[in-house]
Amino acid sequence: MNIENNQHFAFILAFALALLAPTVRAHDTDGKHSHKVTYVANMSGIDCAACKKTIARSIGKLKGVKTIRIVKISETSHRLFVETDGSKSISMGDAKKALGKNVEHYKVNSWSKS
């Protein structure tokens, strides 16, 4: 290959890499993109894996919820971590409403945005 062919090859390779490279947004400048928000709740009344599944399904229906994690912190208390896309604020009232009739069994003792 001569120099002209090498330059041509390098140009095509650089162009292809530029097209295939992912675009990374450094920060939100237009206000249209939300940022991850995590809520933490202390709960009681969670007795088994089925209880955790019921809570995760209920809370997971709230707008913007991405992941839910429930961690046992004592024999009678669990900590709920709710990660959202930040598109909508979630209050303790929203969480209790999402639990529906189960709110009598699963007590949300505290709720905070972390």
Domain residue ranges in the chain: 37-113
Cβ(80)–Cβ(70) below 8 Å: yes
Tens digits of pLDDT across the chain (114 residues): 566 666 766 666 565 555 554 433 333 444 455 689 999 999 999 999 999 999 999 999 999 999 999 999 999 999 999 999 999 999 999 999 999 999 999 999 999 998
Closest C-alpha among 35, 32, 42, 41 to residue 84? 35
Quote the pLDDT of residue 94. 97
Quote the pLDDT of residue 28. 43
Pick the CATH number of 37-113 from 3.30.70.100, 3.40.50.970, 3.40.120.10, 3.40.50.720: 3.30.70.100
CA pair distance 20, 52, nearest whole angstrom: 42
Quote the pLDDT of residue 30. 44
